Amino acid sequence: MTNSITQNALKALLYELVTLPKPGLVDPLNQGPHPDMDVYTFVNSSLSLEEYFANAETLGRTFTKTDLTQLFFQLRQKGITAEQKMVTATNGINTHKGAIFALGIFVCAESYCTTNHTELFTTIQKMCNGLVKHDLVQNNQLKTAGEQEFYKYGAGGARAQAEQGYPVVRDTALPFLKNSTGSFQTRLLDTLMKIATITEDSNFIKRAGSYDSIRCLHKKAAAYLTAGGYATTEGRQKLLQLNAECLANNYSLGGCADLLIVTIFVALERGYI
Ligand SMILES: CC(C)(COP(=O)(O)OP(=O)(O)OC[C@H]1O[C@@H](n2cnc3c(N)ncnc32)[C@H](O[C@H]2O[C@H](COP(=O)(O)OP(=O)(O)OP(=O)(O)O)[C@@H](O)[C@H]2O)[C@@H]1O)[C@@H](O)C(=O)NCCC(=O)NCCS
Ligand SMILES: Nc1ncnc2[nH]cnc12
């Protein structure tokens, strides 16, 4: 039977998916600016990752060396295989590349921490120590959106979050979700928007074509929360407006979605939700 860490990882993917109405993202009512994927594509993608999370969990539990960067590089090999499985399950569509990276790290680290009685975010920092330098500074073939944005703007994207021990999750999203009240939908949507107030989402920046555009997203997400979030009529109106803008301009919040996924995972592990 699948153990609870792996189950919580799968739950986190599905909780994020069914949350609606999410701006710039796929949900059960809307494909947002992602015409090549829908909710079924994400269900197929999520289930294809079960074995990967189980492997990440085993890796964390059985790792005995002191240099935790070796744990990360062993996990990455499994992540590359998981990406191939995801692409097969989705007929070639990139649904969860960012989540394979981020949630894989959280699952592996959580499992390591449970066995070794260490703190989660510090363990992640140790696993990902030097990652930006390894992947971006010493890399002269910058191909992906994240790699090119590092070259153009110095933004470290998904790797920088990991190397810093996910400060967006640790200091902002997780305390926010823990203290939130109301329906699940309201809590998770508001947490997504909280994440969107501060995240340098490389997916959004790539689609918008400029780094400055992310400041505009930060402001709109903050205005939604100031209006009272999803529990208020004004908040809902602002969210629907942002949804429409994302659709019209082809903006995606893929990186924010991944950070919501890992926040949900930790909240489930700690019994906050
Ligand atoms: C380190 C990797 C994640 C590879 O990263 P990449 O170089 O692509 O770097 P980033 O762009 O920085 O991040 C990748 C995805 O991570 C999500 N993300 C973005 N910003 C953040 C952030 N600030 N914090 C956390 N996470 C973030 C986001 O994922 C979502 O968007 C995906 C779709 O986006 P993208 O791939 O750019 O777009 P396309 O497929 O072209 O489609 P369109 O949407 O434009 O149509 C989706 O998957 C969401 O999950 C970022 O995209 C990791 O993959 C890795 O380690 N790779 C290297 C493997 C390797 O080492 N190979 C060599 C052998 S050793
Ligand atoms: N719901 C979603 N829509 C689009 N990209 C995503 N990446 C992770 N979750 C996503």
Structural domain total, the chain? 1
Q: Which domain holds residue 177?
A: 4-270
Q: According to the model, what pLDDT value does residue 144 have? A: 82
CB 86 less than 6 A from any atom of ligand 2: no
CB 254 less than 6 A from any atom of ligand 1: yes
Task: Note whether 26 and 69 are within 8 A (CB).
Answer: no
Q: What is the DSSP string of 189-227?
A: HHHHHHHHTT---HHHHHHHTSSTHHHHHHHHHHHHHHT
Whether the per-residue pLDDT at 176 is higher than 80: the answer is yes
Whether the per-residue pLDDT at 1 is higher than 50: the answer is no
Structure tokens at 197: 């107030």
Separation of CA 241 from chain center? 23
Residue 85: pLDDT band with limits 50, 70, 90: very high
For the segment 107-128, the average pLDDT, to the nearest whole number, is 98
CA 118 to centroid of ligand 2, rounded, Å:
31
pLDDT digits (tens, 9 = 90+) for 8-17: 999 999 999 9
Structure tokens at 68: 């935790």
Asked if omega into 21 is within 30° of 0 (cis), the reply is yes
pLDDT digits (tens, 9 = 90+) for 124-146: 999 999 999 998 877 777 678 88
Q: Which of 197, 207, 199, 200 is nearest to 153 (CA)?
A: 200
Q: Which of 95, 121, 101, 94 is nearest to 42 (CA)?
A: 95
182: left (phi over 0), alpha (psi -120 to 50) or beta: left
CA 118 to centroid of ligand 1, rounded, Å:
28
CB 258 less than 6 A from any atom of ligand 2: yes
CB 132 less than 6 A from any atom of ligand 2: no
Residue 56: which CATH number?
Answer: 1.10.4200
Whether the per-residue pLDDT at 54 is higher than 70: the answer is yes
Whether the per-residue pLDDT at 102 is higher than 70: the answer is yes
Q: Does this model's pTM top 0.90?
A: yes
Q: What is the DSSP string of 35-57?
A: TT--HHHHHHHHHHTHHHHHHHH
